[in-house]
Amino acid sequence: MGAVRLRGAVVLLGGFPALAGVDLGVERGEVVLVRGANGAGKSTLLHLCAGLMRLSAGQGEVLGCDLGDDRAAVRRRVGLLGHETALYGELTAAENLRLWARASRVGEADVPGALEMLGLPPRLRDVPADRLSAGQRRRVALAAIVVRRPELWLLDEPHAGLDSEGRDIVDTVVSAAAAAGAAVVLASHEAGPAGGLATRTVTMAGGMLAEEPGR
């Protein structure tokens, strides 16, 4: 059972075909980098794999769950880092993660460890999230994924807004997750950063995927 299976996936956003027929297969333990220009459809692809979008055509399966009928099950089993960090600004980093852990049915005990892993200084744990910097918020959002320990990680521009230390942490966390058997899909418009991490790179343009030549 692969982590992601897409066949001719079409996703319409307000009538616009953000995905125009994507075929993609990702196995567990793989780290796949999706490269492409802005507007190529990378974020939509990740949202689709997270069970947040309906397929307008084609078939898809994530972690053995159908993207047509079982999106609720998909959503419970993936971790998504999007452009937005999905944190409540008035709540502290720790409160956000505890709420998330609770709703995800995982122990709240992992929260301090996850925040430490992402290198958020302890003094910032109890500061309202909207007082954190953009990079710190992204670390908290990544910590939320660590807390959930999903079988599929979907990271949209994981290095965006992070300093070099943060980027190293992300790389370590992602490789550890892949080593533990999770599948990882990274999206980036740049060739460089996440490249070293990826076991495979695919290119996206016009809502379609192409295998990187000579990978």
Whole-angstrom Cα Rg for the chain: 17
Kindly state the smallest distance separating residue 192's Cβ from another protein, in Å: 21
Interface with another protein: number of residues (CB under 8 A): 81
DSSP β-ladder status, 57-62 and 31-36: unpaired
DSSP β-ladder status, 4-13 and 57-62: antiparallel
Q: How far is CA 121 from CA 115, 118, 155, 208, in A?
A: 8, 9, 23, 41
Q: Which is nearer to another protein, 87 or 186 (CB)?
A: 87
191 forms part of the interface with another protein (CB under 8 A): no
User: Which residue among 29, 104, 127, 199 contacts another protein (CB under 8 A)?
Assistant: 104
80 forms part of the interface with another protein (CB under 8 A): yes
* Whole-number Å distance between alpha carbons of 67 and 73: 9
Q: Which is nearer to another protein, 131 or 190 (CB)?
A: 131
The two tokens of residue 178 are: 């892949």
User: Which residue among 29, 106, 127, 189 contacts another protein (CB under 8 A)?
Assistant: 106
* Whole-number Å distance between alpha carbons of 37 and 42: 9
Kindly state the smallest distance separating residue 100's Cβ from another protein, in Å: 6
DSSP 174: H
Q: How far is CA 144 from CA 66, 104, 111, in A?
A: 24, 10, 8
- The footprint of another protein on residues 142-161 (CB under 8 A) is 146, 149
* Whole-number Å distance between alpha carbons of 20 and 168: 34
Q: Which is nearer to another protein, 42 or 77 (CB)?
A: 77
46 forms part of the interface with another protein (CB under 8 A): no
- The footprint of another protein on residues 158-187 (CB under 8 A) is 165, 168-169, 172-173, 176, 180
134 forms part of the interface with another protein (CB under 8 A): no
127 forms part of the interface with another protein (CB under 8 A): no
Q: Which is nearer to another protein, 86 or 191 (CB)?
A: 86
128 forms part of the interface with another protein (CB under 8 A): yes
Question: In one letter, which amino acid is 19?
Answer: L
Q: Which is nearer to another protein, 192 or 213 (CB)?
A: 213
User: Which residue among 28, 91, 127, 161 contacts another protein (CB under 8 A)?
Assistant: 91
Query: Up-side HSE of residue 154: CA atoms within 13 Å toward CB?
Result: 24
The two tokens of residue 110 are: 């992992």
User: Which residue among 28, 29, 75, 189 contacts another protein (CB under 8 A)?
Assistant: 75
